[in-house]
């Protein structure tokens, strides 16, 4: 066995079991990590030194108007176009069904022909009702944070910097309410982006970059309005404070069906994360340096958790418990570090004594401490999503696959009311995904096929109840007789070759918590500071602590995990480089 193969075998030994990882509650405890999409994007932007300049900044004194940023990467040129309009505060809503926004934006490829601005003016502010060209990569919109925006402008106009504590209550000036890419509304297809734009070949990277640019515009706009209000007195936002501003985001149920409909993609995301953890566990040992960095990050995570401001009681408790758990683990680590011979000992201790939230925080920090082990996995996320039937497979084999790999799906009793209480559907209002109660709401006959456990259970029940006289031997014969199961069998057969694609939960259950699905997906994006508004939607913060445009070209530390208030005394000395 070559050394490479032996290393791989060692890593594989440390991979966690699917039933442990794919548990819904654990998925809902994931934190952004080293290979989250925003972190990857920032590494690329900073390492390649993208040049981002204002090509047009035509805003009036209230900040309304148009702005165009020109973005030059080593291989391409893009433009980020912003339309900032007055919005009646009574119309400001996070819901996807909104019709007007404070900002509407697009990211497009190529040189900018001024005549195209007119077409963008007509279409971008319409969002879903407009049509875009195949040169456009992203269409998005954002609303002001009513709490922060006015406050920041007032402070800057009166020559003062805003209070960090006050900023921390929200964390951003604008909040995006939808970010569209991948061919929506006539824009460039994902296949085209992969083929033509080397800068955005990672999934969702163009969307993430657009959010980064909205954040940048929000900071530029704030400086502009303040300087227009009080040209003599005003000050510009301090760069340290600018970095502490993120861009807000409101995410609803729309993300949940995505996770279910793309299990191969999800498998690839989670497998990469699990592989990174396994790689660290199998190939590194604690030493003075890594233990020191580990402790610094633990302390920073504690501060970060303590600083999160949310009115959601349950989230507050999660943050508070996690912070206490980390403090206690840190104490244990300080006592035990001389005896710690491998990281697995610590993982075992945390797993035996603390909940999944604390466990996943520790895993995230452990990965962060070992960049050399995980950055090699950076380009692993893109896969071809094909769910093909294997018609020649013996029916008995299919049955065994279900029994072995989908056992989790067979544990529910779908005859019970609670297990089949909820249905997911698309509303006529912008096709917004919604949940309905089978007993009370209309539309169950049009439900989205999101109940994987139920579909597997029904397929399995049909197989086990097959009359022997039917003489069905293989999958082709079975789907010929029962075509309603072809869809789920394609999925089962495809996913049987993977480890982590299926979320092991019944999404039709009365007490289902879709918020776990949202948080899982958002963690892969790199989103933090979750502020749930109900069990169905969540506000969160992106790019908090990340570099700003003026940092491009300076040395990059890639050290903005668990952002903390810049003026907070406890954060001093928390830098790991």
Q: How near is the Cβ of 392 to another protein at its closest, in Å?
A: 4
Q: Kindly tell me which of 21 and 139 has the beta carbon lying closer to another protein.
A: 139
Q: How near is the Cβ of 171 to another protein at its closest, in Å?
A: 21
Nearest CA-CA partner of 142 in 87, 187, 203, 189: 87
CA distance 1 to 342: 25
Q: How near is the Cβ of 201 to another protein at its closest, in Å?
A: 14
432 forms part of the interface with another protein (CB under 8 A)? yes
Site map 93..112 versus another protein, x via CB under 8 A? --xxx---------------
| Vertex 211 angle, CA 382 and 552, to 5° | 90
CA distance 424 to 537: 15
CA distance 296 to 292: 6
Site map 128..147 versus another protein, x via CB under 8 A? ---x--x-------------
Nearest CA-CA partner of 145 in 92, 104, 99: 92
Q: How near is the Cβ of 91 to another protein at its closest, in Å?
A: 15
439 forms part of the interface with another protein (CB under 8 A)? no
Q: How near is the Cβ of 479 to another protein at its closest, in Å?
A: 6
Q: Kindly tell me which of 51 and 487 has the beta carbon lying closer to another protein.
A: 487
Characterize the bridge pairing of strands 172-180 and 246-251: parallel
In our burial notation (b when 16+ CB lie closer than 10 A, e otherwise), range 119-158 reads ebeebbbebeebebbebbbbbbbbbbbeebbebbbebbbe
Number of residues counted as binding another protein (CB under 8 A): 57
| Region 401-430 residues binding another protein, contact defined as CB under 8 A | 425-429
Q: Kindly tell me which of 293 and 536 has the beta carbon lying closer to another protein.
A: 536
| Region 179-218 residues binding another protein, contact defined as CB under 8 A | 182-192, 195-196
Q: How near is the Cβ of 443 to another protein at its closest, in Å?
A: 3
Q: How near is the Cβ of 436 to another protein at its closest, in Å?
A: 6
569 forms part of the interface with another protein (CB under 8 A)? no
Tokens 């892969």 — which residue?
Answer: 524
| Tokens matching residue 12 | 């594989």
The kind and range of the H/E element at 176 are: strand 172-180
Among 356, 377, 421, 449, binds another protein (CB under 8 A): 449
Among 314, 441, 550, 557, binds another protein (CB under 8 A): 441
| Region 533-562 residues binding another protein, contact defined as CB under 8 A | 533-537
What does the DSSP assignment read for 448-465?
-S--HHHHHHHHHHHHHT
Query: Segment near another protein (CB under 8 A), from 62-70, 169-177, 178-186, 200-208?
Result: 178-186
| Tokens matching residue 216 | 């940048």
Nearest CA-CA partner of 256 in 435, 128, 97: 435
| Region 380-399 residues binding another protein, contact defined as CB under 8 A | 388-389, 391-392
Longest CA–CA span in the chain (Å) reads: 91
Total Cβ atoms within 10 A of residue 189:
15
Given the rule CB under 8 A, which residues bind another protein?
Answer: 95-97, 131, 134, 182-192, 195-196, 252-253, 388-389, 391-392, 425-429, 431-436, 440-443, 446, 449, 474-477, 479-480, 483-484, 486-487, 490, 533-537
């Amino acid at each position: 066995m070559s050394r490479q193969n032996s290393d791989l075998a060692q890593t594989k030994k440390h991979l966690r079991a699917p039933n442990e990882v794919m548990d819904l509650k654990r998925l809902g405890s994931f934190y952004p990590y080293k290979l989250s999409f925003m972190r990857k994007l920032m590494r690329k932007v900073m390492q390649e030194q993208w040049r981002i300049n204002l090509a047009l900044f035509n805003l009036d004194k209230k900040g309304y108007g148009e702005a165009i940023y020109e973005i030059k990467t080593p291989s391409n040129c893009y433009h980020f176009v912003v339309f900032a309009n007055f919005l009646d505060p009574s119309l400001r809503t996070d819901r996807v069904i909104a019709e007007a926004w404070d900002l509407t934006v697009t990211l497009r490829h190529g040189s900018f022909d001024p005549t195209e601005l007119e077409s963008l003016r007509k279409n971008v502010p319409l969002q879903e009702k407009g049509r875009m060209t195949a040169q456009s990569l992203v269409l998005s919109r954002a609303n002001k944070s009513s709490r922060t925006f006015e406050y920041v402008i007032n402070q800057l106009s009166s020559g003062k910097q805003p209070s960090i504590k006050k900023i921390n209550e929200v964390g951003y000036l604008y909040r995006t309410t939808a970010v569209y890419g991948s061919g929506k509304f006539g824009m460039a297809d994902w296949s085209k982006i992969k083929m033509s734009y080397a800068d955005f070949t990672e999934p969702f990277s163009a969307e993430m970059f657009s959010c980064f640019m909205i954040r940048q515009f929000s900071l530029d706009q704030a400086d502009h309005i303040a300087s227009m209000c009080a040209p003599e007195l005003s000050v510009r936002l301090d760069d340290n404070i600018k970095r502490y501003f993120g861009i807000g985001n409101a995410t609803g149920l729309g993300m949940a069906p995505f996770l279910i409909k793309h299990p191969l993609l999800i498998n690839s995301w989670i497998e990469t994360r699990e592989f990174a953890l396994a790689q660290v566990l199998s190939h590194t040992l604690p030493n003075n340096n890594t233990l020191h960095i580990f402790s610094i990050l633990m302390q920073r995570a504690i501060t970060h958790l303590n600083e999160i401001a949310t009115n959601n009681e349950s989230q507050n408790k999660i943050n508070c418990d996690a912070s206490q758990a980390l403090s206690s683990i840190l104490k244990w680590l300080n006592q035990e570090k001389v005896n710690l011979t491998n990281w697995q000992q610590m993982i075992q201790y945390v797993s035996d004594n603390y909940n999944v939230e604390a466990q996943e925080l520790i895993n995230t920090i452990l990965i962060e401490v070992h960049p050399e082990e995980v950055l090699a996995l950076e380009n692993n996320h893109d896969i071809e999503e094909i769910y093909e039937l294997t018609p020649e497979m013996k029916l008995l084999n299919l049955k065994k696959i279900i029994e072995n790999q989908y056992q989790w799906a067979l544990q529910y009793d779908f005859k019970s009311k609670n297990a089949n209480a909820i249905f997911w559907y698309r509303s006529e209002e912008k096709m917004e995904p919604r949940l309905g109660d089978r007993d009370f709401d209309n539309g169950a006959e049009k439900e989205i096929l999101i109940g994987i456990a139920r579909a597997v259970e029904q397929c399995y029940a049909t197989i086990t109840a097959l009359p022997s006289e039917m003489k069905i031997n293989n999958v082709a014969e079975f789907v010929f007789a029962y075509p309603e199961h072809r869809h789920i069998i394609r999925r089962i057969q495809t996913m049987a070759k993977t480890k982590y694609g299926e979320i092991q939960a019944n999404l039709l259950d009365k007490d289902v918590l879709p918020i776990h699905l949202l948080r899982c997906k958002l963690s892969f994006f790199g989103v933090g500071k979750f502020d749930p508004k109900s069990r169905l939607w969540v506000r969160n913060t992106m790019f908090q602590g990340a570099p700003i445009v003026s940092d491009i070209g300076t040395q990059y530390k890639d050290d903005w995990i668990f952002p903390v208030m810049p003026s907070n005394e406890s954060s001093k000395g928390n830098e790991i480089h």
